[in-house]
Amino acid sequence: MPFDSLLDEMEQNLGGELRVEDLAEAGFVSRTQLYRAFYNATGHSVKEYIRKRRLSRALALVKHTDMPLLDIAQDCGFGSQQALCKAVKAATGQSPLQYKAGGDEYYFPPGAGRRAYTVAVCAQTIPPTLRLRYYDSRLQGIENRALERLFSERPGYKGRIFGRNGEQKGSKICYELYIESDCADQPAVTGTFAKTTSPNDEAEINAAWNYLYDVWLKTSMFAHTGQPWFEEYIHASGQNERYDSQGKPRTRAAANEGELHPVRINRLALYLPVEKRPGFHKIRLIQCGDMHFLTARRTGANAEEAASRAVMAFLAAHYPSLARTARQFYVSTAAPAGLHLAREKTYTCGIAVQSPLKLPPDCRLEPTQWPAGEYAVLEGDCCGDSGAYQSVLAAWMEGMGLQAAGAPFAIYEAAGGFDTQNIRVKIYCLIKNGTNGQDRDEDS
């Protein structure tokens, strides 16, 4: 059974008996194959996924209908009102009636965790290793240069190789290699890791890390533990053919210069330490007053960074106190009218202000205003790309029959400081026919 069909089958039968044996039989696979394939495809076990989808549907009915709890329990596969009440209490800390009266929505989207990369979550042990630090003033390609150094100093090395970013030293960037050695100075690391693989290409590796952290992690049942991540270099040694550390054959001239290393790095395994989390997204419907932001819009490579720098540079020059006290930062990837066909991504970034600021005509900044009205707001932890959260909020609004009156946008809040643990992201989406009752463009 194709994976999308399997999810549809589950969704259509949440109120009935969903037995793993029946799902496996319908897909012509064994239970073990189904468990493994589903876990690797979504980041959830089959039973955990079904439990969370049933509870998410039940919570929506509790909040937005007057159905009796017994009917909701039976409709969502809980069997009894007591079982439903117990599940709601465990997930929200509230009774169903308290949850109905409160302002929070707990939501687990259908198909959560679906992805293009294969990610496996399992116990892993990084063996005892010897740490080798490599310093360089250039960030791009630093990993391959560190490998070049390793194989020039240890020709013929065949053990496992791990790597990760180290602590910068002055203007020098550090990359650390960890290799198996009889002189190991680093203890073994054992834990639960989310693992995926990537070709040995810098752009591919960055894309895999971004997906693992910013997409998969946000919709799986796991959270980052805060412990260090690792990259493992998968290499094949050979006597007849010699390659550089990027897997490209060296020329005879290079061989004469002593640049050859008997190693070919084909792929990398990426290890992100994780732990289980509740897995429900917290969403609210709230009334907001007019919101004002000072923003810059940029398109192309490093557009987000360029837009943010433009705003902060202007503030530092014209409103230094505002630059020092800024704690709410606006990010939107909605392209303005006329740019919807552009291939490169457009970012609008800025800070929250009490009222529009006076701007010189040539500063390339602009005020962005969102009107008073009813907004759906999803709160999450800090992430480099809020797109995963936007997809969850859009799915919830569609399920609730709510229409957006504009593109969603993110506000990063750093009330407790600028380290990752103290930054929260909130995704806002203006609801059509809310208090203001009007559609709007982002620039209106």
Q: Which residues pair with 351 in a beta bridge?
A: 294, 329
Among 54, 50, 38, 48, smallest CA distance to 3 is for 38
In this prediction, residue 210 carries a pLDDT of 85
- For residue 138, which phi and psi values (nearest 5 degrees)? -105, 130
Q: How far apart are CA 161 and CA 231, in angstroms?
A: 8
- Over range 235-239, report the average pLDDT: 51
Residues 6+ apart with CB under 8 A from 346: 297, 298, 299, 303, 333, 334, 335, 336, 339
Q: How far apart are CA 325 and CA 328, in angstroms?
A: 9
Whether 247 shows a pLDDT value over 60: the answer reads no
| 120-276: in CATH 3.20.80 | yes
| CB-based contact 174:133 (threshold 8 Å) | yes
**pLDDT-derived band of residue 320, with 50, 70 and 90 as boundaries?**
very high
Whether 255 shows a pLDDT value over 60: the answer reads no
Reported as a single tens digit per residue, the pLDDT across 151-196 is 899 888 888 999 999 998 888 999 999 999 889 999 999 998 988 8
Among 97, 58, 105, 96, smallest CA distance to 77 is for 58
**Six-digit token pair at 133?**
């630090």
User: Which of 1-10, 114-123, 186-195, 267-276 is predicted with the least confidence, judged by mean pLDDT?
Assistant: 114-123
In this prediction, residue 412 carries a pLDDT of 92
| CB-based contact 346:303 (threshold 8 Å) | yes
User: Hey, what amino acid is at 41?
Assistant: A
**Six-digit token pair at 334?**
């909605």
Whether 350 shows a pLDDT value over 90: the answer reads yes
User: Hey, what amino acid is at 327?
Assistant: R
Residues in the chain: 444
In this prediction, residue 444 carries a pLDDT of 26
Whether 442 shows a pLDDT value over 50: the answer reads no
The CATH class, in words, for 281-430 is alpha beta
Reported as a single tens digit per residue, the pLDDT across 305-315 is 999 999 999 99
Element containing residue 98 per DSSP (H, E): helix 96-101
Among 362, 350, 359, smallest CA distance to 323 is for 350
| 3-107: in CATH 1.10.10.60 | yes
In this prediction, residue 256 carries a pLDDT of 39
Q: How far apart are CA 178 and CA 158, in angstroms?
A: 13
Q: How far apart are CA 45 and CA 51, in angstroms?
A: 10
User: Hey, what amino acid is at 399?
Assistant: G
Whether 243 shows a pLDDT value over 60: the answer reads no
Alpha-helix residue ranges (DSSP H) falling in 182-294: 202-211, 217-219, 252-256
Q: Is the dihedral of CA 107, 109, 115, 119 positive or negative?
A: positive
User: Can 3-107 and 120-276 be said to share one CATH topology?
Assistant: no
Reported as a single tens digit per residue, the pLDDT across 188-226 is 999 989 888 888 888 889 888 988 887 777 767 678 888
Q: Which residues pair with 332 in a beta bridge?
A: 348
**Domain segments of the chain: what residues?**
3-107, 120-276, 281-430
Reported as a single tens digit per residue, the pLDDT across 376-422 is 999 887 666 677 788 888 888 887 878 999 999 999 998 766 666 67
**pLDDT-derived band of residue 254, with 50, 70 and 90 as boundaries?**
very low
Reported as a single tens digit per residue, the pLDDT across 93-141 is 899 999 998 877 888 877 654 545 677 777 889 999 999 999 999 888 8
Q: How far apart are CA 242 and CA 418, in angstroms?
A: 47
Q: Which residue has the tokens 């002189």?
A: 183
Q: Categorise residue 437: left if φ over 0, alpha if ψ from -120 to 50, beta otherwise.
A: left
In this prediction, residue 229 carries a pLDDT of 92
Mean pLDDT of the chain: 81
Dmax of the chain from CA atoms? Answer: 82
User: How many Cα atoms occupy the beta-carbon half-sphere of 136 within 13 Å?
Assistant: 16
More confident residue, 73 or 438: 73
| CB-based contact 49:109 (threshold 8 Å) | no
pTM of the predicted model as reported, rounded to 2 decimal places = 0.58
